[in-house]
Structure 1
Amino acid sequence: MDVLDRYIRDRSQKDPEFKEELKKADERLDASLMLVKLRDEEGLSQRELAKKANVAKSTITKIETGQMNPTFNLMDKIVTATGRQIKLELI
């Protein structure tokens, strides 16, 4: 475990607000990576995906850059517009 990992672990244990913000950042990163992978696999630009999903291009951009933590319904709308589905799992 490196210095950063120890800092994050220790700060998360001491500061519930930090822990919650870290969780939100992880969720934004997951959504971002999912959308970028989807676009890449489907060969779509942000504009093309936005048009298919009937959302603003800025919405796709904000999700991909981590500026937005999208709802499940929004991600489902975007993903299903490509004919794909989201699979939820308990871990």
Structure 2
Amino acid sequence: MDDLDKYHEEQMAKDPEYAAAYRALQPEYDIIDALITARAEGNLTQRELAERCGMRQSALARIESGNANPTLKTLKQLAEGMGKELRISFV
């Protein structure tokens, strides 16, 4: 566990506002993590995946960094570009 992970755990435990803000963003973090993981499993660079999906690499980079919110249509395109199926669930 690195220093950032330790800091995050401490803040989650002692700062209710921090914890609430983090939980509110969890779905976005989950999408980013799933996208990056699937792309890495397919041994695809951002550029390769973006080309497969007909988008710019910079647009994909913004999605993966959390600086853009992808539409459902974009998520479907990305899944198709990776040869994957998009599934969304409520837990």
Q: Is this a same-fold pair by TM over 0.5?
A: yes
Give matches, 1:19-38, under 5 Å: 19=21, 23=24, 25-38=25-38
Q: CA deviation at 1:31?
A: 1.9
Residue in structure 1 matched with residue 69 of structure 2 by the alignment: 69
- Of residues 42-51 and 31-40 in structure 1, the stretch that sits farther from structure 2 once superposed is 31-40
Counterpart AA for 2:34: M
Residue in structure 2 matched with residue 4 of structure 1 by the alignment: 11
Contact 2:39 2:82 in 1 (8 A): no
- 1:20-65 per-position Cα deviation (integer Å, ceiling 9, x unaligned): x852x32331221111111111111000000001111111101111
Counterpart CA distance in 2 for 1:31 and 1:90 is 13
Q: How many pairs align?
A: 83
Q: CA deviation at 1:86?
A: 1.1
Residue in structure 2 matched with residue 40 of structure 1 by the alignment: 40
RMSD between aligned residues: 2.4
Fraction of identical pairs, as percent: 22
Counterpart AA for 2:43: G
Counterpart CA distance in 1 for 2:73 and 2:60 is 14
Residue in structure 2 matched with residue 15 of structure 1 by the alignment: none
Q: CA deviation at 1:82?
A: 2.1
